[in-house]
Amino acid sequence: MLIVVSPAKKLDFEIPAPTKKFTQLSEINKSKVLIKELRKCDAKKISSLMKLSDKLTELNMKRYKDFKTPFSLKNAKQAMFAFKGDTYVGLDPETMKAKDIEFAQKHLRILSGLYGLVSPLDLVQPYRLEMGTKFPIGKNKNLYDFWKETITDNINTLLKKEKTLINLASKEYFQAIDLKKLDAEIITPAFKEKKGNEFKMVGFYAKKARGMMSRFIIDNRIKNTKDLHKFDTDGYKFNKKLSSDNSPVFTRG
**Average pLDDT per block of 10 residues along the chain, 253 residues long:** 97 96 98 98 96 97 97 98 98 98 98 98 98 95 98 95 92 97 95 94 96 98 95 97 96 95
In this predicted structure, what is the pLDDT of residue 75? 97
Instruction: State the residue range of the domain holding 184.
Output: 2-252
Nearest by Cα to 106 from 157, 55, 179, 169: 157
Provide the whole-model pTM. 0.96
243 vs 245: CA distance, rounded Å: 7
In this predicted structure, what is the pLDDT of residue 125? 98
Total number of domains in the chain: 1
Strand partners, 200: 193
In this predicted structure, what is the pLDDT of residue 213? 98
In this predicted structure, what is the pLDDT of residue 38? 97
Q: List helix spans (H) across the chain.
A: 28-38, 43-50, 54-66, 79-82, 86-91, 98-107, 143-162, 171-174, 203-220
Helices (H) then strands (E): counts for the chain: 9, 11
